Amino acid sequence: MQNGKVLLSPQRFELTIERICHQLIEDWGDFSDVCFVGIQMGGVPLGNRIVERLKVLTGNEQILYGKLDITFYRDDFRLNNKQLAPHPNEMNFTVADRNVLLIDDVLYTGRTIQAALSALQHYGRPKTVELITLVDRRFNRHLPIQADYTGMVVDALDEAYVKVRWQEIHGTDEILLFDKKN
- Count Cβ atoms within 10 A of the Cβ of residue 125 and give its class: 0-12 exposed, 13-18 middle, 19 or more buried: exposed
d(CA 33, CA 29) in angstroms, rounded, equals 9
pLDDT tens-digit readout, 113-172: 999 999 999 999 999 999 999 999 988 888 899 999 999 999 877 678 899 999 999 999
Amino acid code (one letter) for 141: R
Cβ atoms of 41 and 67 within 8 Å: the answer is: no
d(CA 2, CA 124) in angstroms, rounded, equals 43
pTM: 0.91
pLDDT tens-digit readout, 58-87: 999 999 999 999 987 766 655 566 666 678
Q: Which residues contact 66 (CB under 8 A, 6 or more apart)?
A: 35, 36, 37, 38, 89, 90, 91, 92, 93, 123
d(CA 27, CA 13) in angstroms, rounded, equals 22
Domain ranges across the chain: 5-178
Select from 3.20.19.10, 3.40.50.620, 3.40.50.2020, 3.30.200.20 the CATH code of 5-178.
3.40.50.2020
